[in-house]
Structure 1
Amino acid sequence: MEAKFQTFLILLAVLAGTALAARRFNVAPAILLMLAGVGLAFVPGMPPVELPPELVLLMVLPPLIYSASVAMSWREFKNNLRPIVLLAVGCVIFTAAMVATAAHYLIGMPWTIGFLMGAIVAPPDVVAPLAIARRLHMPRRLLVILEGEGLANDATALILYRFALAAIMTGSFSLPLAAGEFMLIVAGEIAFGIGVGWLSLRARKWARDPQVELTLSLITPYIAYWLPEHVGGSGVIATVACGLYVSWNGPLWISSATRLQGIFFWDLIIYLIEGILFLLTGFQMRDLYEKSKAFPLDEIMIATAVVMVVIIVARFAWLFPATYLPRMLSKSLRERDPSPPWQWPFTLAFTGVRGAVSLAAALALPFALPGGEAFPYRDLILFVAFGVIFISLIGVGLTLPPVVRWLGIADAGRHEHVAEHEAEISARRQALEAALKSLDTMTEQKDISDEVIRLLRARHEIRTNQLPDSLDPSHHDVSATGTALTRELIAAERKFIHVLLRDGQITDETRRRIERDLDLEEASLANREYKGAPL
């Protein structure tokens, strides 16, 4: 137990150091984390660290999916439902079929094994490509589509995976029966996920305690995921539906104290989960290396190369027709949603990074068939899954930034970011005006002293003056200078409060209350600060 705890502390230390290095060299953290995991795996004396598939599929996946769903806008998800479904369902099935075809004719696998491997490597990961895309300030719609695809495609892939595995274990498969079961799973999980979200919000509203509410929020994704998964579904769709319901309805039910603490709580949880997951994925290289000694190396390399080429080609071959063909066939769609420039589907096609879910699905394969014979091609599927994850993560992570620059995608993202920030300033002003009208109404209806009214109006005047009048460089420089000076003033207040505490003029409890107000003010500055989008 002590050795395992020491290994866990080493992983945390490497996670923190790798994050700092990634920020220093402006590299996606996922890339360095996986490379660090591979390096640690071969350090002499380092104990092997396994990646149990149930850890990923039952423990790690629910909070990752739920957190991303809550952070996503239901309106944007709904407005982009067509491309999201085309990618999360259509592209996954198409890719799995193409991998099965290539595996059958080029590698010599049976069709069922080929479809099984296709289901394993078909779904792109949501974490790594989205983190890279956000760093590049790509247009909002591309980010929404990528995030929506990453949330839902695991469900399609895991359902295909179970169908293929059942066909191998039983020796029978019915396409109409599988299609009907697929639709039933989707409908049932959507209804169940919404129900869990509804119950979660009402339980949290009833609790009225931030610690209890955060505990309930942590339990919510597991309730939404585990029950559908236990009865034969995927659990992913239910978790996504639950998260989107909470995202849309939560602001009216969750208190400000819970929301402020929840942001930090969930950011830390997701940071640790994602980081350790990439480290553990890299750690598997050691075990795979030992297994590969008893396996023809050229067969591993050929199979990995074939599958890698197929999933790249399949994604490009699907995305361009899926983008332009519906608009060619539907005039109303063409008028409502004009065709995007070719650079957009090209960028979406280029970001097909595979992640830990693919490796977990490969690790979860049984070692033997019901008759006792070894599961066919199990080790080869495992080698291919890890190779595809490693190559796609490193390849896309290093090449996506120059590709985005070459395509000019970031320029559209910059203009969009400026427009979004201007809309935010306008919304803040309108909200303050609405609050001021409410103050006028309360003044007429209630007996409020002039001193209280002056204080409230002064508060609104201060908040209004904090909003920038323009986003042009000169005004931005003035705002940035004011923000920097305000931070220095807050730091001076902190030093003075510490002096008062040291001299015994205030208690620690008083100091903590004052520091909390200063922390909130500084966090508000960071939240309001406009940041450009240089590549």
Structure 2
Amino acid sequence: MHSILPFLLAMIVVILLLEMLAAKLRIAYPILLVIAGLMISFIPGLPVVKIDPDLIFFIFLPPLLFEAAWSISFKEMKKWWRIIGSFAFLVVFFTAFSVAFITNYFVPGFTIALGFLLGGIVSPPDAVSTGAITKFVKIPNSTSTILEGESLLNDASSLIIFRFALVAVGTGQFIWQEATMSFLWMVIGGAGIGLLLGWLFVQAHKRLPTDAPSDIILTLIEPYFMYWIAEKVHSSGVLAVVAGGLFMSTRRLLFLNSTSRVRGFSVWESFVFILNGIVFFIIGLQLPEVVSGLRSEGISLNTAIGYGVLVTGVLIASRMISSYAAMIATMIFRPGVVPHARSNRRRFLMPLLLGWTGMRGVVSLAAALAIPITLNGEAFPHRNLILFITFVVILLTLVVQGLTLPYIIGRSKLFDAFSEEPEKEVKRKLNDGLRKHSYQFLKNKYDNELHDHAGLQRMLKHWEEKMEADDDDWMNEKTKLIFIEMLDSQRNYLSELNKDPSINEEFIRQQLFRIDLEEERLKMI
């Protein structure tokens, strides 16, 4: 343990440096992580890091899915549930089906069951990768919601395929009646267990005398409980985490205070970032062993790369076909929800662009690593090839699609053609509404006390001025810079004041935290 600890710490430092470099280059950090994972496989003498395949899902998936469920807007998901549902389930099944039959035809010794196993692994686009890439370009909120919602739910459907394919590979048969009943129990039972546990956890937060640290620790533990209990009764742990996470995220204002929310956001963002980086590095550390296993099976590196390119092409083609099918079906059955474009040509270009957004990432890696090493006492068939193909798929989709997607969106100006209320206008309406609401709240509820209380009078005057002022008059860019400079001056003052031994440092820290919150608030204006 002592020998590998410095290496693990160095790995985390490298992950952080890569994230900084990605921000400097204005590219998505998963792109650099997957490249680093490839490069690390060429470094000789690195320790071999092995994790029990049975623990891969349990360690990495629950927190990643839980955080994704908290990040997405459930209200927007309901608005676009038809297209999200079709991409999350129908498209995943179609993609896995395509991969299964293509690999069965072109890869010697690859059965249909193994093809479905590989299809279940590589079919789900990655929410983290998609979000990291699209943050550098301007896309409509509706498109962003569809991509995030699809990436959240398709993890569940693809991993259900993965589990059934594992059973089929192990037993050599697939009984449709049993599979249907098992599938229904996995979906209904998983979602039900997640909702029930989500409700129990909300009650625990509300009724127990928790503070911010205990709230955050509980949220870190909860996804693991959801996943473990659902898996114990042979339902879908993934769906349990997704359903429970969505349930709790919609009620966060009811059981978490502002301190827990502010601190919890930073903790979860850092935690998920490190998990993503570690998974990419683990596969990089295992690549030499995987390549050695391929050669022992008589499969050359060039041949394996060719299979990876073939599967990547199938994934991209399947997604594009599905995008056009979804667009046509929506135009026929639900024409009212089709985004309004300036021309039919632009409208039919959008599915092409959506088809180019299917970057794969950490969920596919975790699923591939979770394949058991042995099956019925013998080596799992083509495990090394499946791992290698998965890595090639992730590498190609992240590097090729990930690097070109922002350029294509920016150059084509495709999303500029779709009518959606400008973000600035929406924020202006929200700010105006908040000002009027705050002013009316004070006037209606505390009107009798306003004349006798100087503090309330100043508060009312404050909101009167904000309500009457234009956004640019109240806080334009120049005023914001001056305000932030003033906050920095306050920090310096408090730091100097802290040198006085008679002043409790805890009070200083509380004031510094308040200043940090004020600066964060300014950045949101």
Give me the TM-score of the superposition, normalised by structure 2.
0.91
CA gap 1:253/1:175 in 2 versus in 1, 3 angstroms: same
2:163 is aligned to 162
Deviations 1:292-318 (A, max 9, x none): 443321431332222122111111122
2:331 is aligned to 327
Aligned AA (1:149): E
Cα deviation for residue 505 of structure 1 reads: 6.7
2:243 is aligned to 241
1:490 is aligned to 487
> Any conservation in 1 of the 2:450–2:456 contact (CA below 8 Å)?
no
CA gap 1:358/1:496 in 2 versus in 1, 3 angstroms: closer
Cα deviation for residue 148 of structure 1 reads: 1.0
> Any conservation in 2 of the 1:34–1:281 contact (CA below 8 Å)?
no
Aligned AA (1:283): L
1:375 is aligned to 380
Aligned AA (2:220): L
- Cα separation, 2, equivalents of 1:52 and 1:243: 26
2:460 is the alignment partner of 1:457:
yes
> Any conservation in 1 of the 2:199–2:247 contact (CA below 8 Å)?
yes
Secondary structure in structure 2 of the residue aligned to 1:242? helix
> Any conservation in 1 of the 2:436–2:467 contact (CA below 8 Å)?
no
Aligned AA (2:3): A
| Larger mean Cα displacement after TM superposition, 361-370 or 55-64 | 361-370
Cα deviation for residue 262 of structure 1 reads: 1.5
| Larger mean Cα displacement after TM superposition, 135-144 or 456-465 | 456-465
1:532 is aligned to none
> 4+ runs of 1 displaced by more than 6 Å?
none
Pick aligned residue for 1:350 from 340, 353, 356? 356
Give me the TM-score of the superposition, normalised by structure 1.
0.89
1:136 is aligned to 137
Aligned AA (2:381): P
Pick aligned residue for 1:406 from 411, 416, 427? 411
CA gap 1:122/1:290 in 2 versus in 1, 3 angstroms: same
> Any conservation in 1 of the 2:308–2:389 contact (CA below 8 Å)?
yes
Deviations 1:412-451 (A, max 9, x none): 58x85x7233222322322232232222233346687231
1:531 is aligned to none
> Any conservation in 2 of the 1:204–1:212 contact (CA below 8 Å)?
no
2:508 is the alignment partner of 1:511:
yes
Gaps in structure 1 of 5+ consecutive residues: 470-474, 529-535
2:371 is aligned to 365
Calculate the aligned-residue CA RMSD, in Å.
2.5
Cα deviation for residue 507 of structure 1 reads: 3.8
> Any conservation in 1 of the 2:230–2:240 contact (CA below 8 Å)?
yes
Secondary structure in structure 2 of the residue aligned to 1:135? coil
2:400 is aligned to 395
Cα deviation for residue 82 of structure 1 reads: 0.9
2:428 is the alignment partner of 1:425:
yes
Q: What count of residue pairs does the alignment treat as equivalent?
A: 516
Aligned AA (1:357): V
Aligned AA (2:137): L
CA gap 1:495/1:137 in 2 versus in 1, 3 angstroms: same
1:23 is aligned to 23
- Cα separation, 2, equivalents of 1:443 and 1:389: 59
Pick aligned residue for 2:280 from 278, 291, 316? 278
CA gap 1:50/1:480 in 2 versus in 1, 3 angstroms: farther
Pick aligned residue for 1:256 from 255, 258, 261? 258
Aligned AA (1:229): E
Aligned AA (1:396): Q
CA gap 1:406/1:233 in 2 versus in 1, 3 angstroms: farther
CA gap 1:125/1:56 in 2 versus in 1, 3 angstroms: farther
CA gap 1:56/1:489 in 2 versus in 1, 3 angstroms: same
Cα deviation for residue 356 of structure 1 reads: 2.8
2:232 is aligned to 230
Aligned AA (2:349): Q
Cα deviation for residue 203 of structure 1 reads: 0.9
1:472 is aligned to none
2:442 is aligned to 439
- Cα separation, 1, equivalents of 2:44 and 2:169: 40
> Any conservation in 2 of the 1:113–1:164 contact (CA below 8 Å)?
yes
Alignment of 1:94-173 (within 5 A): 94-108=94-108, 109-173=110-174
- Cα separation, 1, equivalents of 2:395 and 2:458: 59
> Any conservation in 2 of the 1:367–1:374 contact (CA below 8 Å)?
yes
Aligned AA (2:523): A
Deviations 1:97-155 (A, max 9, x none): 11111112222422222222222222222211221012212211111111111111121
1:59 is aligned to 59
Q: Percent identity?
A: 32
Cα deviation for residue 29 of structure 1 reads: 0.8
Aligned AA (1:145): I
Gaps in structure 2 of 5+ consecutive residues: 342-346
> Any conservation in 2 of the 1:51–1:360 contact (CA below 8 Å)?
no
Aligned AA (1:136): V
Aligned AA (2:412): L
1:216 is aligned to 218
> Any conservation in 2 of the 1:353–1:389 contact (CA below 8 Å)?
yes
| Larger mean Cα displacement after TM superposition, 201-210 or 62-71 | 201-210
> Any conservation in 2 of the 1:139–1:409 contact (CA below 8 Å)?
no
- Cα separation, 2, equivalents of 1:405 and 1:338: 19
Aligned AA (2:193): F
1:317 is aligned to 321
> Any conservation in 2 of the 1:92–1:156 contact (CA below 8 Å)?
yes
> Any conservation in 1 of the 2:126–2:358 contact (CA below 8 Å)?
yes
1:266 is aligned to 268
2:39 is aligned to 39
2:87 is the alignment partner of 1:87:
yes
Cα deviation for residue 343 of structure 1 reads: 3.0
Cα deviation for residue 483 of structure 1 reads: 0.9
Deviations 1:171-215 (A, max 9, x none): 221224323322332122222211122111111111242222222
CA gap 1:54/1:516 in 2 versus in 1, 3 angstroms: same
CA gap 1:25/1:492 in 2 versus in 1, 3 angstroms: same
Aligned AA (2:399): I
- Cα separation, 2, equivalents of 1:184 and 1:365: 23
Secondary structure in structure 2 of the residue aligned to 1:2? coil
- Cα separation, 2, equivalents of 1:336 and 1:265: 37
Deviations 1:445-484 (A, max 9, x none): 6687231321321442465578715xxxxx89x7111111
